[in-house]
């Protein structure tokens, strides 16, 4: 299968590149930075140096490679800038969808998030709406996600993977990551907000599995949603950090999410619970 991987050098992109090549796919992967192209080539993929906001460059890449499917893993999270990330999700996705439409590509698998649902009781499945009335700054993220998902839905074979909070090497929860540093500094309070976690290896597995999935949204999270008052003290202990302060205002993620549809489609997480996966991931290599 010819695959165009948008976002080949990110936490998931690198892992996906290796996995797809191993499975015999012909992969072209994008990066914004020319200095990263050799690393992509070393993985066995064709590097595409382009800015997804440059519509002409994106269109040329699609015309040249004529993919069977697009794997959209683009994010802009290195600086924690929610506005930049929302813009990439919105404008960048439309750029990819437009280029795909022009060359007749109907299949796209795109990375979304599972914590954009409207608040409510019980685990949210894929039929629950997004929290479009959320206050700022959460509204920026939800709006970006909504525009991403609307763009992907324009394609007959569009699949949206609503990933949980990613952990593992290279993520904010890995050694030296943004969240890990906050926990070590005692700067992250444990609130009642519920988090649905997902190991990066299980996110990659879902993206590969989704090559054969029907269109639509799929929640990809582990089996055990947990409030911050439960997972954060355990994470602090695993890091060797002081016990986190308890309290403070929740940030709006107070809803569990169901992974029933993903499991019905054949996805089986190797890390079904953060209780074992999150501490163990601190000892994993990238």
**Residue 286: per-residue pLDDT:** 74
**Picking from 93-97, 197-201, 243-247, 251-255, which range would have the lowest pLDDT averaged per residue?**
251-255
**Picking from 11-25, 139-153, 241-255, which range would have the lowest pLDDT averaged per residue?**
241-255
Owning domain of residue 89? 2-167+198-221+257-268
pTM: 0.96
How large is the average pLDDT for residues 17-44?
A: 97
pLDDT band at 51 (very low <50, low <70, confident <90, very high): very high
Asked, for residue 90, whether it belongs to a domain, the answer is yes
Asked, for residue 95, whether it belongs to a domain, the answer is yes
Asked, for residue 232, whether it belongs to a domain, the answer is no
How large is the average pLDDT for residues 101-120?
A: 96
Asked, for residue 250, whether it belongs to a domain, the answer is no
pLDDT band at 238 (very low <50, low <70, confident <90, very high): very high
Asked, for residue 189, whether it belongs to a domain, the answer is no
**Residue 131: per-residue pLDDT:** 95
Please give the tally of structural domains in the chain. 1
CA nearest neighbour of 197 among 237, 233, 163, 162: 163
Asked, for residue 127, whether it belongs to a domain, the answer is yes
CATH at 92: 3.40.50.720
**Residue 249: per-residue pLDDT:** 67
């Amino acid at each position: 299968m010819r695959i165009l991987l948008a976002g080949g050098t990110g936490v998931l992109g690198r892992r996906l590149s290796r996995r797809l090549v191993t499975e015999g796919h012909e992969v072209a992967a994008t990066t914004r930075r020319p200095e990263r192209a050799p690393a992509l080539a070393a993985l066995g993929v064709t590097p595409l140096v382009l800015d997804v906001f440059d519509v002409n460059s994106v269109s040329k890449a699609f015309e040249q490679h004529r993919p069977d499917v697009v794997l959209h893993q683009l994010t802009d999270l290195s600086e924690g800038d929610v506005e930049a990330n929302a813009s990439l999700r919105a404008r960048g996705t439309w750029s990819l969808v437009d280029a795909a439409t022009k060359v007749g590509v109907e299949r796209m698998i795109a990375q979304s998030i599972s914590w954009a649902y409207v608040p409510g009781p019980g685990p949210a499945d894929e039929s629950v709406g997004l929290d479009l009335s959320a206050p700022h700054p959460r509204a920026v993220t939800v709006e970006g996600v909504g525009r991403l998902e609307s763009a992907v839905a324009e394609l007959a074979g569009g699949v949206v993977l609503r990933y949980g909070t990613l952990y593992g090497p290279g993520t904010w929860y890995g050694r030296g990551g943004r969240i890990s540093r906050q926990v070590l500094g005692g700067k992250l309070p444990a609130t009642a907000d519920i988090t649905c976690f997902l190991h990066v290896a299980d996110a990659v597995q879902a993206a590969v599995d989704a090559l054969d999935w029907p269109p639509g949204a799929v929640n990809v999270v582990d089996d055990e949603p947990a409030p911050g008052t439960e997972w954060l003290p355990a994470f602090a202990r695993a890091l060797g950090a002081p016990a986190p302060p308890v309290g403070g205002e929740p940030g709006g993620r107070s809803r569990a999410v169901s992974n029933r549809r993903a499991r019905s489609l054949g996805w089986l997480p190797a890390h079904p619970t953060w209780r074992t996966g999150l501490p163990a991931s601190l000892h994993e290599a990238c």
